[in-house]
Amino acid sequence: MQKTGPTLTETLTAGEGRYAIVAARWHAEIMDALIAGARQTLGSRGADESQAEVLRVPGSFELPLACEQAALSGKYVAVIALGVVIQGETPHNEYINMAVANGLMQAGQKSGIPVLFGLLTCRTMEQALDRAGGKVGNKGEEAALAAIEMVNLLRSIKGN
Ligand code: RBF
């Protein structure tokens, strides 16, 4: 259940077409919860199993290229990027997070397919757990719901 962000109409459905869930491998426990959340939301909005395809990348830095290629492939109506970056002793997280944000934005604009930002950018593991089915909800669910909203919006803009 979505706990933060604006409420979306209950009637919005996934419709036809496949959704790519592109997921980094770092921080497996949190990633499993985000992927499950995204799948669950797609299912609760009418998508069957075959409409959700999970593609794995080594780390979050690899999300933009994989998402761009998925979006350009013509196989998907939307691409949901999921990853978790935890701040460490060096500022690697800042470089990764900015690259991913910029890269995902570009992938969406270049392809014309919604590319959703489901990247947790956390200071601590606790913050990440809170956002992967904990007290701040599940950002995988929210990214999937945003994907469904964008698919419906683009269909209405294009008149189909
Ligand atoms: N990838 C993640 O998805 N989450 C992380 O928290 C994360 N931390 C990293 C920390 C360092 C110092 C480095 C070098 C990489 C990290 N990566 C992380 C992996 C990164 O996204 C990418 O897969 C690799 O740098 C290979 O391009």
Structurally, at CATH architecture level, domain 21-52+72-158 sits in 3-Layer(aba) Sandwich (3.40)
Q: pLDDT digits over 28-58, tens only?
A: 999 999 999 999 999 999 999 999 999 999 9
| Rounded (5°) CA angle 64-67-68 | 80
| Cβ neighbours of residue 112 closer than 8 Å, sequence gap 6 or more | 154
pLDDT at residue 2 is higher than 80: no
pLDDT at residue 160 is higher than 80: no
Q: pLDDT digits over 101-157, tens only?
A: 999 999 999 999 999 999 999 999 999 999 999 999 999 999 999 999 999 999 999
Q: What is the pLDDT of residue 23?
A: 98
Kindly report the pTM of this predicted structure.
0.95
4-18, 25-39, 79-93: range with lowest mean pLDDT: 4-18
Please identify which of the residues 3, 56, 75, 92 carries the catalytic annotation: 92
Residue 86 beta carbon below 6 angstroms from any ligand 1 atom: yes
Interatomic CA distance for residues 107 and 128, integer angstroms: 25
In the residue annotation, 27 being an active-site residue is answered as no
Q: Domain residue spans in the chain?
A: 21-52+72-158
Nearest atom, ligand 1, residue 59 CA: 23
